[in-house]
Amino acid sequence: MMLNKFKIPQEIWEDKRIPKETKYIYSYIYTKGFDRIITDINIGEIQQTIKIKNKGLKRSLEILKQLKYLKYFQEYSNGMYTITLN
């Protein structure tokens, strides 16, 4: 059985405008939403790998949206987000 490896776009790792934790958040979102347009995440899932608070996650998502790595995100409940990938 062959395992598929998720390939995060290389340009995000080379982009100096993006903080390191935001790159990790994007890679988490990308792998979770692989082959889908819309995905849901919550702060608890990300806190298992990255030490971050809801405010920091929201700031990271805003950076990714401004740089056009994400099309859209919305917080529908405290710490729960719907994200549209680019």
Q: Does the pLDDT at position 3 exceed 70?
A: no
Q: Any idea what DSSP says for residue 84?
A: E
Return d(Cα 79, Cα 6) in angstroms, integer.
25
Report pLDDT for 65. 92
| CATH architecture assignment, domain 19-85 | Orthogonal Bundle (1.10)
Q: What is the pLDDT of residues 25-76, one digit of tens each?
A: 888 888 887 777 788 888 988 888 889 898 999 999 999 999 988 888 888 8
